[in-house]
Structure 1
């Protein structure tokens, strides 16, 4: 007789091996065929909206781990919200304009721009952008990210561009848009102005020079012939010098050195003397900076004046306290120069070459001009010191090459005009982490006006016309007309038609008596594109709303999208475009280094998905403290995969042991459950509360650890472990067995719902194997609600204490196993000498203690004090482990003297013999 055939072993088609790289694409195809996104929206229709607005990734290249981290975090939130009382639409987007696509075509695709019109080149850019969108869309979907993928927002779409023009027009109407010549970050490598968000800092080696400017009119404060010393690390800006700035409140020393009289800030005299190697010097007099106002010095190269001016920006952090001032090459220089009526001299062209406004240096690239300019200063006796320093310097984030400050005619958004509203909006927003508020507040407080024009081809045109006298024309009529044209034809029409053709029919203007008009050729900063999405997406789409509940991006977006969106939204609506902002860190390698091809440490999402599966990648995202920088490597992913394996196997165990369980017929009422079963339900309800609270607070690592601990400790190491003795051994309809199955069923339904936002593929795979559920996908149900069991606190306290005592028994069994006293725990006889408190605890437990300890024999042999010296000692008990007496039951593996007493079943214990007799009688 084959007794093993009488055991009720787990039975399920849910495979142990996930084989996720093969199974997930099949699941995604199923979702697509069922239009699961639409089904979820229909199910949740009428609920309050929760809108997480997607910050658009740039449509160029394959996804990196930063993309995966970002999109998966968003998916966790959207999926959870749709299962917890909200309608949570998710509209993905793409940013498509700008230099990278132009570069991809001209350098990678070898497109010759000079052989085609701007409109033709832009069409190639658009075609390229769509191919990149399709590539990235496929990769995002393979991550299991659920969204309206067939109807995303894209910044090059005509309807988007039309709304962006409206934002520009509304800002212009309020007086926030103006054109002016002032210094901006300029990238010679891109031949375009840059926004602050497009600047990154890298180390650069630069010349450091001290230069003397001879005073020609000292205005009673100085003597003619005195020499004011300036310090600069940009000798190439000396030809643009028009003045010297001093601080009105600082003291300045006139110092005699070998017959020359030099002027420096008194506070910096010692350091300047040391740098310039003055062995002997004498302070002749000290004057206040205020008294130096409008002193005139001679330019050290050209025959022109340099005006001494008062400026609050002057500091004593470095240099001489006398600041070389070139209004065409610095923001502070420009501001002080404007207050003194100086010109804005900028002798550097768009490619970075010196112009004829820098006589003697024309045609030299600005960085190469440092040497001949320094040599000229030396020749003129004005150079006091030349050395070299390595310092942090602004670079173009696209080309990685140095930028300069260069004054050009640009379009600006005047931040100062509504700065107070911006700061109020920052304070009214909920920031996670909390330091995000301080970071953006300080940025807004300190930022200058926003340069929104770019000298490129691929972008949304600035919708400005010019009259015959050069005056810009921005009216409600022209804005509405251009917006309508873009909506119908796309923005390329701006480059295909003349100004006259783009203006409303019959348009006239007082400054164009002859009816002649021209148009602006610059395009808008791409941050204005994406920063207008609150209007073009949140406001324009019926399924969304403004403000969004949440913006979620990397921490670099405080100076990027968070900032530009805030600026345009407050300018247009007076309010922030978001109620809350959540930011995450960057993805680094396992050693905390930035990923780079040269280091060979790049971890690609596509490779992870092909080898391990998207759910492993998603579980990694849930496991990390994403608000800081996160690490990822093969070793880290291997650890995550091991956790996934445990979760999967637990699901498999639950499914396998419920194959003969019908919840409608077989479930046991809570009141009839054993206390240990109710204890597990108490723990399950606590898990629900912890996990749901963590979802609400975007604390996904808390979910990861709680799910992992519940599966491995409460379930696998305790409940499921001892439950096998009942589930496999007892008859199918045994009440204890049905009680355990009732708990397992509740646990299965709860766990699959709780993990669904994080592991959607696996959760749906499990869901398909639960016969009793009606919905075809776990995505179409709500999160579980916790319930309060009677005497829950007392049950938990009692059984937590029991679990601590059980841990002592398990430790004692492990020691006995290592000492070869026993083999498996079922071969053990446990004799316990408990403390009085532990004795009372054990006596209150109604369940079979040897079953809970998974041993063959258990007894309380005496008190703690009565234990023999050979007993293992623990806080609550002293324990002796011996080999159990008797034979091993062939069916349940319990060691007992009962084996052999039943002549019909001589290899079975009493319990198994009676079960088998009933089993075969019924058969």
Structure 2
């Protein structure tokens, strides 16, 4: 600049904003939380009238520890659903809740007792329950603050708790509906049982881990063989033919007598409870004889074993017999198997007191295969569901059910040989029962082979100890028993209603969730409702003394009794069930207390959470009119958990599913795709992420990931998220800086705007549809990607870059500058509201920077309606070609800049050769030099010379670089021939006019 040339910097409209480049989220986010609480944002949103209802019903987390990354993912997705629907015009209500009863909390209190040398059984049950309640209350308060720190909106002042008195009342009432409608029954069947915790467990309380187990091949002796009925057809039925068949079967009888049917099991402890052996009708069986043996072998020469042909070689190998040491004697038909009588390997053993002397039942069963084992299955119906169902359907349960295993996993004291031995130790480790059974099998000659196997095995998710299948008296909800309750629109049984709901009433995101839940409901057994614990809602029912569970009057069904229980629970909570004189109080004059036994089992906690639709959606003023939620949203494990139990419970009492949409997220893994584990040191704790980056970065990670599948998170991933955040923040800062002082007087009607601005309006209209459709479909990744690409590519890299010159250098009242500022204002209102459900703190920061005030908040706003006439497909098509041509020019100039031929694009005046006449004509209708940020530019239809720059994906466009001619304008920096010829020294004509 010449000495006598003025400094024009102060004449430019440079951005003005205090909005910081560095977000400082960890330090600043708590201030916005205080602002929202002070102005009561959630309550003020409820005051907006005449809005359609939208309710996401919260699946209750467990109140027993600090939040993990799964909690953060889950609650953030829920928050995005609620906030986005609120800003799209709904009254979107969200009542957070907590699951407070059950084993995890009870287990914590028991651990505290054990550490103090106390015994739970020595503490009055009400005192113990009060300690559980206090423990849950403490964690509810801690988790509430941790959730709020993540920016989660909701009715935090009045959440729902399953241990609230009203909740306990409703849970009991919902249970008593099962009592009254006939779906409740007491039965004795195998359930998953935790010997460590001494309670039944639901499938949802079980997780599968590898376990190293004993495996044994056990011999059941054939002690008798009944000749099968002779059936000969037509001409074959002659005396000679009959005699031949009889002789053949007599030969078979000699071959079979003393032979052994061999079974295989990974649970030797179930052998004392064996009542039967079953085979497959379609399996090929053979009789095999031992002809030789090594020294270390339990088989003897001459022993004969009946095995599935497909598995015989493997079984013999396990018994240490190679192919030279046995031979196949003959086929064994299903009819022949049916004629055999088997005895238990302990039959006749000295000291057995005839415990196992009865013949074992031996029949075909559909579940037997020859895929592994021996082709035979040993049946202990007290410890296996398939066997139980087989003998239930045969009407033979009384003959085959045993009660050999006690609550603690030990054998009953009077069981010969094994009384008092334990399947598992108190710590959940291998007990001495398996070894004792194997030793006795060796002693009695009942063992053919043994080994070890590592396999997936059910464990309690709380104690981490293995569980067993154990036959115990439990309370069940019959899911195939017809219900006459006037709510049969979707079926007469719980299963029918559930499957019909899945098929016709519920939308699943992702769709695979439908198949998963449908298959589970289709195949599931009756629901085990009872738990042998102390902390929970009791099964509020009474049984008649002396009656059998199958008797019609076994259960007391009395509406007056039920009403008294409900009223007491409402006033005093479920503890009153355990108070002295409770039975007399509740039965009063409606039934003689001497005739009834009070049930003290507690309900499965999944029944508690499955009932939340009743005491949250139905009963609360911020619930729903029909008791149905718009959305249930949880992790994929809840197909067997909360989605499942809520569906069963509601179908039993409401007649249909309690939700219209089921949204599912996957699990969170580390950066390498491994499951997070404290022992591996790869856990990501939300609190640490918030302290280092801020909650918005964690929320942005959620928005950027495909939550419907398993997601990954770690330090490097979070750094990438933070980079995306910075780019987006810079876009918002540009808006704020260039909107300083904007007033309605500047606003330009869209019809009067330049084409570039109208193109931006078109893109906004397109994006508004994409954003709303995405939020409605719970597609946050799609929404954020669309908005982010628009903000960083269409705006920051193109529109903002092009319009900087007009915004900074044009006269204040120029149409181009006022149009640009109008568009920036329209962008501001849309970007802030589109992104507010995701970046709750940052968009509040942006909003308050422009619209400060004690009552101001972006979260009180709706997404602005975008006029349909902003859409202009023809204009969009035209500008697609313009931008393609611009890309070739800017790429050509970038090479010159890298080669240090120029320092900035304004030093260039390229010649652009365009073969397409239509595109050339379009380029001539716009200020293409301004779009390319050059001082001058020539458009020509002449063929591009060989040295012209080209891009492979933009054929027909060539760019020849030329330097701009003239002097540099000291105000806008363009190089133009007219600089210095105007009244203001050192400027171009446009700047001279602006200065005037």
Deviations 1:845-890, CA, capped at 9 Å, x for gaps: 23x3222111122123x43425363655762322122332333222
User: CA offset at residue 399 of structure 1?
Assistant: 1.2
Q: Give the deviation of 1:347 after TM superposition.
A: 1.8
Q: Does the CA-based 8 Å contact 2:766-2:871 persist in structure 1? A: no
Matched, 1:629 2:633: no
| Match in the other structure for 1:41 | 46
| 1:242 corresponds to which of 275, 285, 289 | 275
Query: Contact conserved, 1:805 with 1:876, CA < 8 A, in 2?
Result: no
Local SS of the residue matching 1:786: coil
| Pair 1:699-2:776 in alignment | no
Q: Is the 8 A contact 1:314 1:323 kept in 2?
A: yes
Deviates more, 1:768-777 or 1:447-456: 768-777
The question of 1:909 aligning with 2:988 is answered yes
Match of 1:126 in 2: 133
Report how far residue 544 of structure 1 moved.
1.5
Tell me which residue corresponds to 2:242: none
Q: Distance in 2 between matches of 1:438 and 1:692?
A: 27
2:536 corresponds to: 459
Are 2:432 and 1:368 equivalent residues in the alignment? yes
Gaps of 5+ in 2: 1-5, 229-252, 291-300, 424-430, 482-492, 548-553
Residue pair 1:253, 1:266 contacting (<8 A) in 2 also: yes
Contact 1:215-1:298 at 8 Å conserved across structures:
no
For 1:31 and 1:202, the matched residues in 2 are separated by 45
Aligned to 1:309: 363
* 3-state SS, counterpart of residue 549 of structure 1: strand
- Report the Cα offset of residue 495 of structure 1: 1.8
1:611 aligns with 2:665: no
Of stretches 418-427 and 269-278 in structure 1, the one that deviates more from structure 2 is: 269-278
Q: Cα–Cα, structure 1 residues 197 and 469, in superposed 2: closer, same or farther, change >3 Å?
A: same
Q: 1:299 to 1:8 in 2, by over 3 A?
A: same
Aligned partners of 2:888 and 2:958 also within 8 Å: no
Structure 1 residue 314 displacement after superposition = 2.0
**Corresponding position of 2:601:** 522
Shift in Å at residue 748 of structure 1? Answer: 0.9
User: Deviation of residue 248 (structure 1)?
Assistant: 4.3
Give the C-alpha shift of residue 584 in structure 1.
Answer: 0.5
Q: Which residue number corresponds to residue 505 of structure 1?
A: 588
Aligned with 2:399 (options 333, 336, 342): 342
SS at match of 1:392: strand
Q: Counterparts of 1:912 and 1:522 in 2: how far apart (Å)? A: 87
Moved more, 878-887 or 851-860: 878-887
Q: Is the 8 A contact 2:765 2:871 kept in 1?
A: no
Within 5 Å, which residues of 2 pair with 1:369-768? 369-417=433-481, 418=493, 419-428=495-504, 429-469=506-546, 471-509=554-592, 515=594, 517-545=596-624, 546-663=627-744, 665-768=745-848
Match of 2:14 in 1: 9
Say which SS state the counterpart of residue 597 (structure 1) adopts. coil
Unaligned runs of at least 5 residues, structure 1: 919-923
- Whether the 8 Å contact between 2:560 and 2:590 is mirrored in structure 1 is no
1:859–1:245 Cα change, 3 Å: same
For residues 569-604 of structure 1, what are the alpha-carbon distances to aligned partners after superposition, in whole Å with 9 as ceiling and x for unaligned?
101121111111110101111111111111111111
Displacement of 1:266: 4.3
Residue 333 of structure 1: CA displacement? Answer: 2.3
The answer for the alignment partner of 2:97 in structure 1 is: 93
Distance 1:774 1:745 in 2: 22
- 1:493 and 1:870 map into 2 onto residues whose CA distance is 90
Name the CA shift for 1:570/1:129 in 2 (closer, same or farther; >3 Å).
same
Query: In 2, are the aligned partners of 1:459 and 1:526 still within 8 Å (CA)?
Result: yes
Deviation at 1:460, TM superposition (A): 0.9
Pairing 1:281–2:327 present: yes
Q: Say whether the 8 Å CA contact 1:83–1:783 is kept in structure 2.
A: yes
Q: Tell me if 1:869 matches 2:873.
A: no
| Cα distance in 2 between the residues matched to 1:103 and 1:844 | 78
Question: 1:55 touches 1:553 (CA, 8 Å); kept in 2?
Answer: yes
Superposed CA offset, 1:620-648 (max 9, x none): 11110000001111211111111111222
Tell me the residue number matched to 1:785: 865
Whether the 8 Å contact between 2:843 and 2:858 is mirrored in structure 1 is yes
Deviation at 1:762, TM superposition (A): 1.9
Over 3 Å counting, the alpha-carbon distance change for 1:549 and 1:836 in structure 2 is closer
Instruction: Report the equivalent of 1:172.
Output: 179
Distance 2:336 2:615 in 1: 52
| In 2: Cα distance, 1:772 partner to 1:857 partner | 43
Is contact 1:212–1:300 with CA below 8 Å preserved after alignment?
no
Aligned-partner SS, 1:393: strand
SS in 2 for 1:521: coil
In structure 2, the partner of 1:921 is none
Q: Using a 3 Å threshold, how does the CA distance of structure 1 residues 407 and 843 change in structure 2: closer, same or farther?
A: closer
User: Deviations for 1:639-690, whole angstroms, at most 9, x for unmatched residues?
Assistant: 1111111222211111211112212x11111111111111111111111111
Task: State the secondary structure of the residue aligned to 2:877.
Answer: helix
Aligned-CA RMSD value: 2.2
| TM-score under structure 2 length normalisation | 0.88
1:913 and 1:435, CA in 2 relative to 1: closer, same or farther beyond 3 A?
Answer: same
What is the rounded CA distance, in whole Å, between the counterparts of 2:220 and 2:858 in structure 1?
77
Q: 1:348 touches 1:406 (CA, 8 Å); kept in 2?
A: yes
State how far apart, in whole Å, the 1-side matches of 2:706 and 2:719 are: 18
* CA–CA separation in structure 2 for the residues paired with 1:900 and 1:549: 68
Cα distance change of structure 1 residues 289 and 479 upon mapping to structure 2, 3 Å threshold: farther
Deviations 1:809-867 (A, max 9, x none): 01001111112211111222212222243662455423x3222111122123x434253
SS in 1 for 2:696: helix
| Counterpart contact for 2:222–2:340, Cα < 8 Å | no
DSSP 3-state at the match of 2:470: strand
1:292 aligns with 2:338: yes
- Show CA shifts across 1:179-220 (max 9, x none): 112111001121111011111111111111111111223333
Comparing 561-570 with 275-284, which one deviates more in the overlay?
275-284
Cα separation, 2, equivalents of 1:30 and 1:191: 49
State the alpha-carbon separation in 2 of the partners of residues 536 and 73 from structure 1: 24
Which 10-residue stretch deviates more, 213-222 or 141-150?
A: 213-222
TM-aligned CA deviation for residue 705 of structure 1: 0.8
Distance in 1 separating the partners of 2:980 and 2:778? 60
Who is 1:355 aligned against? 412
Q: 1:686–1:786: 8 Å Cα contact kept in structure 2?
A: no
* Partner residue, 2:378: 324
Q: What SS does the aligned partner of 2:850 have?
A: coil
Q: Distance in 2 between matches of 1:551 and 1:850?
A: 54
- Report the alpha carbon displacement of residue 557 of structure 1 after superposing the two structures with TM: 0.2
Contact 1:826 1:895 survives alignment (8 Å): yes
Relative to structure 1, the CA distance from residue 821 to residue 375 in structure 2 (aligned partners, 3 Å threshold; closer, same or farther) is same
The whole-number CA distance in structure 2 between the counterparts of 1:659 and 1:102 is 59
For 1:183, the equivalent position in structure 2 comes to 190
Closer, same or farther in 2 for the Cα pair 1:408/1:728, shift >3 Å? same
Residues in 2 aligned to 1:548 and 1:866: alpha-carbon distance in whole angstroms:
64
Secondary structure at the aligned position of 1:350 is classed as coil
Identify which range, 778-787 or 128-137, moves more after superposition.
Answer: 778-787
Could you tell me how far apart the structure 2 residues matched to 1:454 and 1:265 are?
Answer: 41
SS in 1 for 2:332: strand
